[in-house]
Structure 1
Amino acid sequence: MKRLVLFVSTGLALSVCMGNGGKAVAAGSATLSVSFNWCSGTPATKVSGIPAGAKTLRFRLKDHQATGYQHGGGEYPVSGKSVSIPCGGLKSKSYEGPSPPAGQVHDYEWIVTAVDAGGSVVGTGSAVRKFPQ
């Protein structure tokens, strides 16, 4: 994650991390623990380390070998420090599961961003799995 330091006229510096697609993420935001398993529909997912104040988890699937391919993702409401989402439990119209060309194995990253009620990022995490396994 890139760190951007902004200097203001008073000589103070404000430090933020650039992540979440180039959006500013507050320095000190939580690192989420993420694990998932492939299944029919959206992956069965466990997320822990969710910080207080987080209201929504945003998910995005990234193919490391076909970086321009958009697999989409979805959102899931949260109210605690951890969540277990069953297979197919993430409701999304934009999610498209892993689909490497026949005979190829790709690395897929399931990226999770925790946001508060105002939409500010309060935590990020991800996990990578091969498909097919």
Structure 2
Amino acid sequence: MLRGVPEGTTTVQFKLKDRDAPRYNHGGSKRLKISGDGQLPFGVFKYKSPCPPGEVHTYEWTATARKGGKVLAKATAVRKYPE
């Protein structure tokens, strides 16, 4: 369940980025339609989990909320893996 989604949001897009290997595509989602209850169906986005080759990398999740083509908000979370 998503929380803190701006009022009026019609789609949310997720992206996972490896800051130490930015060209490696970890995936995420296309723009996902969101219902009023903040629920997303199971399996709507795909990503390759963090798996740095024998070292610690910094990963960043980004969620972008939109209403039509207008970005309403963008949130990021950053964490090193493995810690």
Q: Normalized against structure 2, the TM-score is what?
A: 0.76
3-state SS, counterpart of residue 7 of structure 2: coil
RMSD over aligned Cα atoms: 2.5
**Runs of 5+ in structure 1 lacking a partner?**
1-45
Moved over 6 A (4+): none
2:80 is matched with 130
What is the Cα deviation at residue 132 of structure 1?
Answer: 1.9
1:84/1:63 CA distance change after superposition, 3 Å: farther
Higher relative contact order (Cα pairs below 8 Å, separated by 6+ residues): 2
Compare CA radii of gyration and give the structure with the larger one.
Answer: 1
The number of aligned residues is: 82
**Runs of 5+ in structure 2 lacking a partner?**
none
Q: Normalized against structure 1, the TM-score is what?
A: 0.51
1:107 is matched with 58
What is the Cα deviation at residue 77 of structure 1?
Answer: 3.3
Identity %: 44
1:48 is matched with 3
